[in-house]
Amino acid sequence: MAISSICFIRHGQTDWNKQGRLQGKTDIPLNDTGRKQAEACGKFLNAADYDVLICSPLQRAKETAQIINLHLILPLIEMDDFKERSFGDAEGMTMEERQRAYPNGSFPSQEKREEFNQRVMTGLEKINKKFPNKRILLVAHGAVINAILAEISNGEIGSGKTILMNGCISNIRFKEKTWEIQNYNQVRHLN
C-alpha cells in the first residue's frame, strides 16, 4: 500500500520572531538568521525523498521554500489554506503588550480558532486528494503546523502545548485512512 507523507517546515526567523511579536497574517520577511535556517533545511533535505513543495503565500514562508528549493528543484505550489492565523488587533504586539491590552487572551478581529482549524485541515484534505501517494514538503507557520499536530494527536501536542522552533521539521504520514505523527519540532539540522 502506498503511503502519502508530509514533511512540515516552519519558516525561518523574522525580526518579529526575534522580538517576540505576534505576526499572524502580517507579511514580514525573513531576517539573515531565517535565511540561514532555510539554507540549512535545504542542505539537510534530500530531493529524492519528495515529489512536490507547497508553501503559504506569506513572504516568510515563501522565501523559506524558495531557498530550500534551490537545493531540491521541486515543483513549487502556493496554497492560501496554509497562511498563518490572523490574530487581529494583537498582531505586532509582544507577549507583555498582549497581556496588558487583552488580559483575557481574546484579541479583537482575530480569526476564530474553529474556522482556522477547519481551513488548515481542509488544506490537508486537498493535498491528500490532489497528490495521492506523494511525498509532500510543506513550508508553513507555527500555528498552522500546531493546529495539524493537535488535530492528529487529539490534543496531546500542538496548539497551546508545543512551541515550534523556526526552521524545525515535523513529519506525518497517511496510512490506513488516517494521519499519524512520525516526529515533530526536529532541529538537529540547524546546528
Read off the pLDDT of residues 21-65 as tens digits, 9 standing for 90 and up.
999 999 999 999 999 999 999 999 999 999 999 999 999 999 999
Q: Check if 141 is active-site.
A: no
User: HSE of 115 in the Cβ direction (CA atoms, 13 Å)?
Assistant: 9
Confidence at residue 3, expressed as pLDDT on a 0 to 100 scale: 62
Name the pTM for this structure: 0.95
Strand blocks (E) in 27-177:
52-55, 76-78, 135-140, 169-175
Q: Can you read off the three cell numbers belonging to residue 128?
A: 491528500
Strand partners, 174: 4, 179
What is the residue whose three cell numbers read 482575530?
110
- Catalytic member of 39, 63, 71, 84: 84
CATH H-level, domain 4-190: superfamily:
Phosphoglycerate mutase-like (3.40.50.1240)
Residues of the chain under the 70 pLDDT cut: 1-3
Confidence at residue 37, expressed as pLDDT on a 0 to 100 scale: 98
Mean of the per-residue pLDDT values of the chain: 95
Q: Can you read off the three cell numbers belonging to residue 189?
A: 539540522
- 171 close to 183: Cβ distance less than 8 angstroms: yes
Confidence at residue 161, expressed as pLDDT on a 0 to 100 scale: 92
Confidence at residue 175, expressed as pLDDT on a 0 to 100 scale: 82
Q: Check if 84 is active-site.
A: yes
Confidence at residue 1, expressed as pLDDT on a 0 to 100 scale: 39
Q: Can you read off the three cell numbers belonging to residue 161?
A: 502545548
